[in-house]
Amino acid sequence: MSRIAIYPGSFDPVTNGHLDVVRQAVFLCDRLIVAIGVHPGKKPLFSTEERLAMVHEVFGPIAQKAGCAFESATYDNLTVAAARAAKATLMIRGLRDGTDLDYEMQLAGMNEAMAPEVHTVFVPASVAVRPITATLVRQIAQMGGDYSAFVPSSVAASLKAKFAD
């Protein structure tokens, strides 16, 4: 039986923290689906198409090198519904600190109640990427700061282009 994992998030933008999670997740499954949540009430910095392109460019080679099949998808419903639709039995969630753990434990419990066949797997962030959040990266970029240490180089170029206008 193939182990299919889903790694959900907004990925707005892809950060080195996301990359760290994917580097670990590709060894836990046979197929990894990075699922971008699309919510009509939110206005992301990058379009869905731009985020899908970032995800493929940054994560695709990592999965390929590990021998893990890789794909991306979008969803606009509950994450557990997206997991079920993808036939995923694992949901990958990154943890940076105790605050993340508290929130993620609540989320995992609710998800388990709704979809007991989907098991949450927590992936601890490496020390170097623990402080990185996409929100902070966006704020640094919007204020003209140097975000290059927090995102892959291709994403840094996309951020630079976004704020050059």
The predicted-structure confidence for 142-158, as pLDDT tens digits, reads as follows 999 999 999 999 999 99
> Is 94 annotated as belonging to a binding site?
yes
Do 155 and 126 contact (CB within 8 A), yes or no? no
Pairing label, strands 90-95, 119-124: parallel
User: What pLDDT sits at residue 165?
Assistant: 62
> Is pLDDT above 80 for 1?
no
Mean pLDDT of the chain: 96
pLDDT at 5: 98
State the Cα–Cα distance between residues 80 and 61, nearest whole angstrom: 26
Mean pLDDT across 90-110: 96
Specify the pTM.
Answer: 0.95
Structural domains of the chain ordered from first start:
4-131 (3.40.50.620)
Other beta carbons within 10 Å of 26: 24
31 is in an annotated binding site: no
What are the helix (H) ranges across the chain?
16-25, 48-66, 79-85, 98-114, 134-142, 153-164
- Does 160 belong to an annotated binding site? no
> 84 a known binding residue?
no
